[in-house]
Amino acid sequence: MARQDGDQAPEQRFAGTWWGCSAPACWNAVLEPTRELLAELEAQGRKPKGTITITHTRADGTLLEGSRKGDGVFEIVRPHRFWFGRSLPGVLFIRNSRDKQADRWTIRRAAEALRAVGWSVEIDVDEDSRRSFAQAEQDRVERAEERAERFGEYAGNAAARSEAHRGEARRIAQGIPFGQPILVGHHSQRRAERDQERIDSNMREGIAEGEKAEHYASRAAAAGSYEAFRNNPGRTLRRIEKLEADLRRVQRNLDGTGTQGWNPHNPDHAAELNRQKQELQEEVGYWRHVIAKAEADGFKVWSRDDFAKGDFARWRGTWYEVLRANAKSLTVPHIHNMGPVVTKEDNKHNGWTYTLPYNELAGRMGGEEMREKLAAAKAEDGSG
């Protein structure tokens, strides 16, 4: 016999010292069950709660089906980025997972958490089912229009409630003579106090609803301008530059010269890299079409060929003299120089310079033309 002061199972705990026998003849599976026996008994008594299916396609994103409200599944998978929404009733999903590679690590962790509490989980990942970039962009535009309409309705309702509360406060106040105090001890005291409380409550509600109306109106305006924001030519040109850099990176990984750990000889890696390449090429082509349409409507895409040393470029309302035309930008006097026109002679910052990307320029003027205009403006000021 040996004295035991610890390592007691919960059902064995009691006050005082207990003694354990290490001989096989003393073993008792009821009073002192082994861990293996406990695990076997637990497995026999546990029945699967149900089957959860987690699927991923690039077209639909990562979806979780088989759950019902109140079954505890949402609370389990919420830490793993699953959420719910009105557009997919009865389905949980990972936000922003559409048109992207599956986050297998997150999916696996969510499945492990569900299995740990008795759910049976099936996982199906199909990376080749996708929609075109044009379809995805059109879907985003339509959803933005729906948001704009919905938030506009919310703003209108909130504004109506705000005006109703303010109107009620004014109606009550109009029944009280101007400057009339509450007559303490008079039979009208309680009514006057109630009127005061109602005026205060309605004014506060009116202000709160007014702020809510402004909030929803702002969101409606942002959603309504989504398409114009996305198709802005300058912003689109910057987006194309980034996408082309991503395309070059993917190509380096396919060639085996990348530095991101991709192995082009691995079939899974090669398949994913080719998918990324196809998607990037498709997206670049889409945005180039947007730029071509903008050029047809009068937008100018500036480049190195449009500028020479001594010309002037317009950037954010100011004209800057061109010191050098680079491949992707112009070198000009530093933007800390103030004034509508900044020349090389006006540079007051020890010769500091700045670079202006071509996709942010708004105009060009020849050096001679600009100096003639500056001379004419100076002469006019002198004669005045």
Give the strand pairing for 61-65 and 51-57: antiparallel
- Partners of 312 in the beta sheet? 321, 365
Give the three-class secondary structure for 170: helix
User: To 5 degrees, how large is the angle CA 105–CA 108–CA 111?
Assistant: 150
Determine the straight-line distance between the first and last CA of the chain, rounded to whole angstroms: 116
Task: Report the alpha-carbon distance of residue 330 to residue 365 in Å, rounded.
Answer: 14
Assess contact for 87 and 150: CB atoms under 8 A.
no
CA atoms within 13 A on the CB side of 144: 16
Containing 312, the helix (H) or strand (E) segment is: strand 312-315
Name residue 210's amino acid: G
Task: Report the alpha-carbon distance of residue 351 to residue 376 in Å, rounded.
Answer: 27
**What residues contact 18, with CB distance under 8 A and at least 6 apart?**
4, 8, 12
| 144-155: b (≥16 Cβ within 10 Å) or e | beebbeebbebb
Assess contact for 349 and 336: CB atoms under 8 A.
yes
Instruction: Say how many C-beta atoms besides its own lie within 10 A of residue 313's C-beta.
Output: 23
Containing 53, the helix (H) or strand (E) segment is: strand 51-57
Instruction: Say how many C-beta atoms besides its own lie within 10 A of residue 46's C-beta.
Output: 10
Q: Could you report the average pLDDT of every consecutive run of 10 residues in the chain (384 residues)? A: 50 48 52 64 64 95 93 94 89 94 95 92 94 94 94 96 95 88 86 91 96 96 94 94 95 90 92 94 96 93 94 94 94 90 85 92 93 86 61
Give the strand pairing for 51-57 and 120-126: parallel
Name residue 338's amino acid: M
Assess contact for 91 and 63: CB atoms under 8 A.
yes
Length of the chain in terms of residues written: 384
